[in-house]
Every structure is written in structure tokens, then in C-alpha cells.
Structure 1
Amino acid sequence: MSLPESPHHLLNLTPDELLGTTRAVRRRLDVTRPVPREVLLDCARLAQQAPTGRNRQRWDFVFVTDPDRRRALAELWRRGLDSPAAPNSHDGPSRHDFTPGTGWQAIADSLRHLVDILDQVPVLLVPCIRVGSRAELDDPATQAGTWGSVLPAVWSFMLAARSRGLGTVWTTPHLSYEREAATLLGLPYETTVQCALIPVAWTIGTRFKPARRVPVTEVVHWEHW
């Protein structure tokens, strides 16, 4: 009889293995096992080492573990997924946009699964970035600096989570109702911008393969487009 996989071996992944097998996890999130706060804090400490613009740490992580608050946040996420803007700005197309036989089918299946279980996922992470005002998001250059001051930290968190046997996925549907989410989480809406909603849970199994991608020569350009 084979023994259950232990996540401890993941701490020995090489950097290339870690980067090559950190996947967007939807279907393989274990909703039955709580995630200790100490594990989340360990991942957050590593995220703090990520670079930020002008070396200012303007980001904050809001971990939502209370069942009632998770349920309310998940409902905003589901409403956002069905909003008209969802196909262009969220975690892929709306859950109603998939038909059998399309190239989206695998994503459709995993997204439908996440729709069903999101409120049961033990931890929902909402990364935020503090701004002087929301007008900062109107200027492309300032906006790039703003997102560039939080995204490295979030990716570092996701890598640290993977190395400990946790799965994550970047999603954004709830941002169609960001103001309502801010009220739910007690965030100052005008000066704190939510970036995503990231489910965090132990994975069902720990072995993940590199994803299929187009040849790198199709996305790399030299000197000009």
C-alpha cells in the first residue's frame, strides 16, 4: 500500500522545479484541511522580501478565514463572474461562456469546480495596495509602478505556498464589487485598492507538471516586435 504524499519534499525543489510546477490550482484544492496561521505567516514573510517601488512596502495581505465572511466574499466573486465585464477582465470567461469541445473546456471544468467550492476553501487571500488616491490608477506609468509594487510579493507568496504543499490561483471577479468587498473587509476604499482574491488550501496530491506552452521563440522578440 502506498503512503500519502508528504509536502515536506517540496522544500527541496530546485528553483527551476519550483518555477516550472507552480500552477493555478482550482480543482485540486483540499477544502477539508485547515491551513495553520503559522504557515501563512511564513509565506508572507518571504513575500516581504519582494522588491517594491522606491523600496516602500505599500501592500497588505488580508487573509479571510471566518466562514461567514468567506461565504459573503465568495458570493461577491460569483456575482462578479457573471457580470458583463467578466470575459475581458477576470479569471477567464464567464462560467456560462463555455461549450463542450472548445479549447477552454479544461479551464471551464476547473472554473465550475471553483465556483462550487470557493466558500469552502479554508483561506481567501485579498492582496491590497495602498495609494494616495484612486486617481493614481488613471495614469499608465503610475499604474504600472503601483501594480509592480504588489505583484512580485503576491507571486513570492504563491511560490512559497507551493513549496509547502499549498495551492493558489489568482482570480479577480469580485473586483466588479470591490466597494462591497471593501465594506465587508473593513478596508478604506479610496486609499486601498484590492488586487485579487486568491484561494489558498493544501493541494490534493503535491506533484504538478509543467504546463503546455507555445515555443518561447513565439513570444520573445529581439530589438523590435
Structure 2
Amino acid sequence: MTPEELLTTTRAVRKRLDLSRPVPSELIEKALTIALQAPSGSNREHWHWVVVTDPDQRAAIGSLYRRATHEYMASSGFAGKLYADDPSRAAVQHRVGSSVSYLADRMGEVPVLLIPCLETSSAELPAGNQAGMWASLLPAVWNYMLAARSLGLGTAWTTLHLAYEEEAAEVLGLPENVHQAALIPTAYYTGETFKPAVRQPLASVLHVDRW
């Protein structure tokens, strides 16, 4: 793939994750090695990566994710309910909502669950520049997802389990000063029809010099 193709066809994969095909640990480690080339504030590299493959551990995390997702699906902000009065967008939102629901009930069956974490100096997150702090981790997570795509793996960026972050931390045995950022299901995918998503025109969101 060209860089442009990789960047425009790395999509959230939910319904097309292959739940029956094991993923070699070597592929995950290769994707993570690429992920670690991302920038890190002050070159601290305070990131940690929890790779969950044990069936019982996956099931426990999956249960938390399912509970959080079902609560989200009942809310007015659920993706499947957005833009209901806009025919040009409603169908897309319905498909997104359907795939969210599908993954909610199967997260614990995904062969690999990656939980990227950030270590801080204390159990409490520091006040102030949260954007700068998380910027030392999130680009590396996206690097991982791009690398996984290039290696024939599908991923999806999810964060809903963080509604039960403490419970997840207990399942994973995380120290109090290690904070979870996301939950990235990773598996081989089925089909090859990945394509760029329909987005708003750049002109509608571009501001030059000032709003």
C-alpha cells in the first residue's frame, strides 16, 4: 500500500474481525515496535502496552465493554441515533450503530485485546495540560493501528470500557499510577473492500488565521 492508501483505508473493523483465527504474537510485537517510533513528550516514553490473549482475561474485559456499550446504546448520543433527520447521513449512522452493537457482544472473543496505558507519577492524573499528557501516548496507538493494517490485521479504536476503568485495572493487575487510554481489538479481517470514508468537505471545517 502507498502511504495515502494506508492512511485513508485504516478503518474501524468490527463485524469483519475474524474471531476464529489466532494472531501470532510476533505480528503484535512487530506492530508495537513500529508504534514505539511515535513521538513522546520530552522523550519520556511513559507508555505501557497490555496485550490480552488469555480467554478468561478477554472474557472479563469483554464483559465490562459490553456493559458500558449497552449503556451507551441506550443514550441519546449513540452513533446509531445521530442525524436521524438527515437521509444522507442516517443510513451511515445506522450501519455504524449496528457494528458497534455487534462488537459489544463479541469483544471478549476477539483474539487480541490491546490496552495502551500511560504511567504517571501518582495515582491521580495531573491537573492542567491533559492534551499534552495524552499526546505522549495516542499517536503511538494510531501508529499501532496503521502497522496492524499493513500486516493484514484489523483494529478499532474503542474507549467505552473506561466507564469501568477501575474494574478493568483490577482484572489486569495495573498499578494505581497506570492509566488506560483505549481498548483496541485486533484480529485478522475478512474481505478486502476497505475504502476512504465519506467526510465533510474540508472547506466546511477549515479556518485560516482565525475562526
Please report the TM-score for the alignment, with normalisation by the length of structure 2.
0.90
Question: Which segments of structure 1 move beyond 4 Å, counting only runs of 4 or more?
Answer: 84-88
Q: Distance in 1 between matches of 2:200 and 2:160?
A: 27
Count the aligned residue pairs: 205
- Please state how far the C-alpha of 1:178 moved relative to its aligned partner: 0.6
Structure 2 partner of 1:48 = 36
Q: Aligned-pair RMSD on alpha carbons?
A: 2.2
Corresponding letter in the other structure for 1:55? N
1:194 aligns with 2:180: yes
- Please state how far the C-alpha of 1:84 moved relative to its aligned partner: 6.6
Q: Distance in 1 between matches of 2:32 and 2:108?
A: 22
Corresponding letter in the other structure for 1:161? A
1:184 aligns with 2:171: yes
Is the Cα–Cα contact under 8 Å of residues 79 and 96 in structure 2 kept in the other structure?
no
Out of 99, 105, 122, the residue aligned to residue 133 of structure 1 is 122
Is the Cα–Cα contact under 8 Å of residues 69 and 104 in structure 2 kept in the other structure?
no
Partner SS for 1:133: coil
Is the Cα–Cα contact under 8 Å of residues 81 and 94 in structure 1 kept in the other structure?
no
User: Structure 1 residues 41, 86: closer, same or farther in 2, change over 3 A?
Assistant: farther
Give deviations 1:172-200, integer Å, cap 9, x for gaps: 111111111111001012x1110011100
Corresponding letter in the other structure for 2:202? V
Structure 2 partner of 1:155 = 142
Q: Distance in 2 between matches of 1:215 and 1:70?
A: 39
Is the Cα–Cα contact under 8 Å of residues 16 and 189 in structure 2 kept in the other structure?
yes
Partner SS for 1:49: coil
Corresponding letter in the other structure for 1:124? L
Give deviations 1:137-193, integer Å, cap 9, x for gaps: 432x2x11111000110000000000011010111111111111111001012x111
User: Structure 1 residues 210, 85: closer, same or farther in 2, change over 3 A?
Assistant: closer
Structure 1 partner of 2:193 = 207
Q: Which runs of 5+ in 2 are unaligned?
A: none
User: Structure 1 residues 94, 22: closer, same or farther in 2, change over 3 A?
Assistant: closer
Structure 2 partner of 1:218 = 204
Out of 152, 159, 164, the residue aligned to residue 172 of structure 1 is 159
Structure 1 partner of 2:55 = 67
User: Structure 1 residues 113, 82: closer, same or farther in 2, change over 3 A?
Assistant: closer
Partner SS for 1:167: strand
| % identity of equivalent residues | 49
Structure 1 partner of 2:13 = 25
User: Structure 1 residues 87, 132: closer, same or farther in 2, change over 3 A?
Assistant: farther
User: Structure 1 residues 85, 113: closer, same or farther in 2, change over 3 A?
Assistant: closer
